[in-house]
Amino acid sequence: LLTNRIGIKKVLIMGCVISIIGFAAMMFYTQDSSFEFLTITQSIRYIGVGLALMPATTWTLTMVSDKVEDGTAVNNTLRQIFAAIGSSMVVVIVAILAGGTIDHNHASVVAFNQTSLILLILHVVMLILTILFIDDKDKLEQMP
């Protein structure tokens, strides 16, 4: 695994940076954006999210290594709850920024671009938190 080779922190940083690149590209969507551009930018973002989620899950489970079953259950439940809430909130933010309705018009595209900026900022915050507070597994094993 990539996390075993270079460490959880580096993979998390890579995931955050790739997600930030994806969200930055998504800020330039227009009504005339090609399907290929949409596909590439979404793929970049998905790769970044995948690189961030897997090591984050691994890192959190190392914190409760004596109760992995309980940790896994709590992690899976919370991830599903927050994924549902998060995706709903993103749609609500786009709708609010679009003036109440989402349609294939200029206002909705601009609202999507603005929402991408908000998500980019959240990923920058996640990147900063990762840099400041996440230690690699080998450092965790040295702790008493």
pLDDT tens-place string over residues 23-76: 999 999 999 999 999 999 999 999 999 998 888 887 788 788 788 888 889 989
Q: Nearest-CA neighbor of 43 among 70, 19, 14? A: 19
Q: What is the largest CA-CA distance in the chain?
A: 58
pLDDT at 143: 39
Specify the amino acid at residue 61: L
pLDDT band at 19, cuts 50/70/90? Answer: very high
Domain ranges of the chain: 2-141
Quick one: CA dihedral 120, 121, 126, 129, positive or negative?
A: positive
